[in-house]
Structure 1
Amino acid sequence: MPNILTSDHADDFRAELLTLPAGVASVSFFACPSLYSRRTPQLIRRSDPEVVQVAICLRQTIGVSQRRQEAVIQAGELFVYDTSQPYQAWMSGNGDIARMGVVHIPRNALPLPAAGMQRILARPLSGSRGIGAVLTSFLASLASQGATLNASDLARLGGVTVDLVTTYLAHHIDALQTVPGESRQRALLMTIYTFIEAHLHDPDLAPNTIAAAHHISLRQLHRLFQQEDTTVAALIRSRRLDHCRRDLENPTLQHLPIYAIGARWGFADAAGFSRSFRDTYAVTLGEYRRAAYTSRA
């Protein structure tokens, strides 16, 4: 897609670019010290892929201007711009490196009203709460792990990407009723997974508290997990044990008693923690920790 690009570092311009094809969408991550981008009516007439772009500022600041709207985007915030309309954008590292991620989705793949989309162009959108936090976490994970994913992984993640972006944008333009039920369900499931991961340390984390936090019934929660090859309780236990296993291997945490490691990941009962670990890994907590230290010696 043609744009006019300039930079304050044109004499020694260095940048990083990672592009990930993900089904009907694609995701790209870009880093540089500074960049100014301009898309003019002439360039749009020459080539227009008719794509909606949802961008996240990962580091430093980004500026964007479209349809007489202008905003400065801080790290952790998102914004939307449209390739079919002129825009200007800039990245500034403020003496460092600026980083951003962009989800590119064909406009016809987003079942959202055009008028609503126009209202949110070039405006800062929160990425710190609810579905925004889930989308931000998802994109940050892609930024760090995307280069290790194979084509089949990326194809599967493409549907997740579109579902999350669609639900996120629908939330901001009050158009959730236009999002297909399956997309809303998958986005809700991703939100629940993120919530569970963020609250593993809480010993009160349980199916009933998760359902209440997401304003759904306990029955609805269990129904969501019917196709996940696990239960909510089993997922919580598995994720807690995985974190505990890593902590037992961590030499910087060797001063912590074993029961304290369990407690920091939500195992309030030391005996229950010991039994769950042994049942899962076929070894006691003490044996696992000693073996981890021996292998590093």
Structure 2
Amino acid sequence: MKKLSVAACVSLAALSAALLAPLAASAQNITIVNGKAVPKARVEALIAQATKQGQPRTPELEKQARDEVVLREMFLQEAEKRGLAASPDYKTQMEFARQQILIRELFADFQKKNPVSDAEVTAEYEKFKGQSSGTEYRARHILVEKEDDAKSLIAQIKGGAKFEDLAKKSSKDPGSAENGGDLDFAGPNAYVPEFSQAMVKLKKGEMTEAPVKSQFGFHIIKLEDTREAKFPELAEIKGQIEQRLSQQKLAKFRDDIRAKAKTDYKFEN
């Protein structure tokens, strides 16, 4: 058996490489559209974008991404063939898109490099918890427009009528009337001053002897119960606190950029 010469081996290697090159190229592409390759990398980029927004990677998503990428290539080639890439409108929109994407990346980069720490979350939680301590009141009320109507209802309740029934029938507060005037548990700060001042003076089961006037009309208030203010555990609201603090950091970052920029432009607010 004859041995191949060095030159022959080199020729065979070159031939093999030439034959395998199209196969390697096709492995990197989905398909060819009008002689132009559509790379698989576009599909992966589209899928990555979808999964980042919360969509699970499924065979259906992969198929949709492949279809979308190939269709985009077809439409893109047609738009370029018609010379639309040279139009002023296209160039303006591309500039706006460039600005938007770059600014979005700026803020995303800041948030990535400045995450909210557990210590910051705990400190914010303790601050809110401290502000929410105290007594919560469960009250009912009947809201009417005229003082005389309120006095008449008070007389009816003292005569034996049920507070809840009169609230359903006569109260102008759509949020509580159907529930017999029940406002559930809340702190005094949840109400207008005139209402809360009258409410906190009541004992359990007591009702205001006279109508309480506020900007909404005249109230008859009955105190059902009190309790110490409850506050959720940190684990229950940690995500909300993190989001709030992250938004605050981003807002400060934006304000700092605006403050140090040199310009004579005056913002209205």
TM-score of the pair, normalised by structure 1: 0.22
Higher RCO by CA contacts (8 Å cutoff, separation 6 or greater)? 2
Which structure shows the higher strand fraction? 1
Rg larger for: 2
